Amino acid sequence: MVDDGTLRMAIDTAWSVYRTRHREVDAADSRRCLLERHLHGRREARGDDAAELTAFGIAYLEWLPEDEC
């Protein structure tokens, strides 16, 4: 099980990396909420590895279609 601090760090890092690569994305974009839900759903399967959760989150954000948000 992942503690909340590890999960929060993974979410924040993935979101920061994604926004750095996609400057047009606003900080309050709905993709942030989708990322949080996605990683919350994966946290049990991924364990306590923040780097792995972060990479998984970045991959998820890149996969999202533009019209999903």
pLDDT tens across 9-68, in order? 999 999 999 999 999 999 999 999 999 999 988 776 656 788 999 999 999 999 998 766
Q: How confident is the model at residue 1 (pLDDT cuts 50, 70, 90)?
A: very low
Domain positions in the chain: 4-68
CA 9 – CA 67 distance, rounded (Å) = 27
Task: Enumerate residues 6+ apart whose C-beta is below 8 A from 13.
Answer: 50, 54, 57
Task: Enumerate residues 6+ apart whose C-beta is below 8 A from 6.
Answer: 48, 50, 53
Task: Enumerate residues 6+ apart whose C-beta is below 8 A from 62.
Answer: 18
